[in-house]
A and B are shown apart, each in its own frame.
Chain A
Amino acid sequence: MPSPRDIDPSTPAIRFEGVEKRFGDNVVLQGLDFEVARGDRVTLIGPSGSGKTTILRLVMTLEEANEGYIFIDGQPLTHTDEGGKRVALKERHRNEMRKRIGMVFQQFNLFPNMSVMENLIEAPVHVLGLSKADAVERGRELLARVGLVDKEDAHPSSLSGGQQQRVAIARALAMDPEILLLDEVTSALDPEIVGEVLEILRDVARTTDITMLIVTHEMHFARDVSNRVMMFDGGRVIEQGDPETIFTAPTHERTKSFLSAVLGT
Chain B
Amino acid sequence: MSGGWNWQHVWDSLPTLLEGFLTVTLLVTVVGSVIAAVLGLVLELLRRSAPAPLAALLTFVVNFIRMTPIVVQLMFAYFALLALDPLTIGIVVFGIHYATYMAEVYRAGIDSVPQGQWEATTALSMSRGRTWRAVIVPQAVRATLPSLGNYVISMFKDTPFLIAITVPDMISNALRYGGDHFRFTEVIVVAGVIFLIASYPTSVLIRKLEQRIAFTT
- Where the two chains meet, the residues of A that have a C-beta atom closer than 8 Å to any C-beta of B are 60-62, 95, 98-99, 101-103, 105, 107, 109-114, 122-123, 126-127, 154-158, 171-172, 175
Contact = CB atoms under 8 A, between A and B. Distances in A.
B139 A61 contact: no
A127 B116 contact: no
A122 B216 contact: no
Interface string B132-157: 00110011001000000000000000
B125 A122 contact: no
Nearest to A112: B215
Contacts, number: 70
Q: Interface on chain B toward A: helix, strand, loop, or mixed SS?
A: helix
Interface string B95-129: 00000000000000000001011011011111100
A175 B124 contact: yes
B125 A123 contact: yes
B119 A126 contact: no
B130 interface: yes
B217 A158 contact: yes
A62 B125 contact: no
Contact of B116 (A107, A114, A175): A107
Contacts of A123: 124-126
Contacts of B130: 126-127
B120 A111 contact: yes
A155 B215 CA distance: 7
Given A157-B217, A158-B217, A111 B123 contact: no
| A interface SS class | loop
Contacts of A102: 123-124
Given A126-B127, A172-B123, 19 more contacts: A62-B119, A62-B122, A98-B123, A105-B123, A109-B114, A109-B116, A109-B117, A109-B119, A109-B120, A111-B139, A112-B139, A113-B215, A122-B124, A127-B125, A127-B130, A154-B216, A155-B215, A175-B124, A175-B125
A150 to B, nearest CB: 15
A156 B126 CA distance: 20
B216 A61 contact: no
21 contacts: A60-B119, A62-B122, A62-B123, A98-B122, A98-B123, A99-B125, A101-B123, A102-B124, A105-B123, A109-B116, A111-B117, A111-B120, A111-B135, A111-B139, A113-B215, A122-B134, A123-B126, A127-B130, A155-B215, A158-B216, A175-B125
A127 B127 contact: yes
Nearest to B130: A126
Contact of A155 (B119, B122, B216): B216
A95 B123 CA distance: 10
B122 A60 contact: yes
Contacts of B138: 113
